[in-house]
Structure 1
Amino acid sequence: MSADPVIRRAGVEDAPALALVGAATFLEGFATLIPGADIVAHTARNHSADAYRAYLAQPVGRAWLAETETGAPVGYALMCEPELPQAEPGDIEMKRFYLFSRWHGSGAARSMSNAMLAEARALGRRRLLIGTHHDNMRAIGFYRKIGAERIGGRRFEVGGSVFDDHVYAITL
């Protein structure tokens, strides 16, 4: 592996890169759980450049890219107004947080989470909410390491498949 990815704040002009890495990392993470046609339709709808532009247009919409030394995106984090059922006034959501498996353990996830937590605090938010698939033990372990506690669950539908997610919160 080459040098660790560099983390930088992403802007609306980065929407195509966010869409690319968003769709690819979602596919990497869920290709064995979601039927092919459903995952293709889901990523086309939810990981388009326009979808990322819409998140970044929110007053609290923020994103960070993890990039190689060549500038290729290999991960990202997205924060927005909460869409989780446990949301309360003053909350913000870590909507997406993905890094290609090749860069797991590189420190990029820690750097992205530090940037996100600092920004959530700067925005005056009370809690950062996180939803993740119930058996994504690597992510759950990481979220717990950065201070997340489970506060509930939700159902997440992709095509005809329904998944159970755990919902976590980090008090800021």
Structure 2
Amino acid sequence: MGDVEMDEQVGYASPGNDKSAALRVMARRCFTETFSHLYEPEPFARFLDEVYGDSGSMSKDLLDPGMEWLVAEMRGEIIGYAKLRPLAAPAPNPRNGSLELQQIYVLREWHGRGIAERLMLWALDRARTLGAPEIYLTVFDHNERAKRFYARHGFTEVGRCTFQLGDRIDDDRVWRKTL
């Protein structure tokens, strides 16, 4: 893993903070590289602005004390992050206090270097520390790489949901791990 440094403070930065802006740029790039080929350009650009823009939902999440973040940096460049939150996914019969791993994003050039592994271990440890009995996540049904990664960490599919961007509605899966 080289000299990858894990910086837990970024999660509490304000949207005007340099690290907050860099985190949103990294997340936008990661989402674009992974999913842009699936969507029409105009609704995709609108979605990116709504989520990763200066006043988008990610900026609001960075200010939310209920969100937990861990960011991976290499020589000051953000290369990945994990985001843990109170459960919002449509989980079937969740236990009280369950959490959601809303995102693990790692830039493509850093895949296979243990970054996602470290972020996942942090998320699981943090969820246990917070007393969560279960942790959930949603994953695009055709993201086989992600599904293999989650399965290696003991997650299993427990439900379905949809993700809509523009006119396209995608099939996502809800996964759970008991802690």
Partner residue, 1:60:
66
Aligned equivalents of 1:126 and 1:43: distance in 2?
A: 33
CA 1:144–1:122: 2 relative to 1, 3 Å: same
Match runs of 1:5-44 below 5 Å: 5-9=4-8, 10-13=10-13, 14-44=19-49
Aligned equivalents of 2:54 and 2:85: distance in 1?
A: 16
Query: Percent identity, aligned pairs only?
Result: 26
Partner residue, 2:106:
99
Aligned equivalents of 2:36 and 2:51: distance in 1?
A: 16
Match runs of 1:1-172 below 5 Å: 3=2, 5-9=4-8, 10-13=10-13, 14-50=19-55, 51-68=57-74, 70-86=75-91, 88=94, 89-172=96-179
Q: 2:52, 2:59 within 8 Å by CA — same for their partners in 1?
A: no
Which consecutive residues of structure 2, in runs of 5 or more, have no partner in the other structure? 14-18
Aligned equivalents of 1:127 and 1:4: distance in 2?
A: 32
Q: CA deviation at 1:59?
A: 4.0
Paired residue type of 2:39: I
Moved >4 Å (runs of 4+): none
Q: 1:15, 1:52 within 8 Å by CA — same for their partners in 2?
A: no
Q: 1:12, 1:53 within 8 Å by CA — same for their partners in 2?
A: no
Q: CA deviation at 1:71?
A: 0.8
Aligned equivalents of 2:4 and 2:166: distance in 1?
A: 33
Q: CA deviation at 1:4?
A: 5.7
Secondary structure at 1:125 match in 2: coil
Query: What TM-score, normalized by structure 1, do the two folds share?
Result: 0.90
Q: CA deviation at 1:11?
A: 2.6
Q: CA deviation at 1:159?
A: 1.4
Q: CA deviation at 1:73?
A: 0.9
Q: 1:15, 1:49 within 8 Å by CA — same for their partners in 2?
A: no
Which consecutive residues of structure 1, in runs of 5 or more, have no partner in the other structure? none
Aligned equivalents of 2:101 and 2:67: distance in 1?
A: 10
Secondary structure at 2:38 match in 1: coil
Paired residue type of 1:95: Q
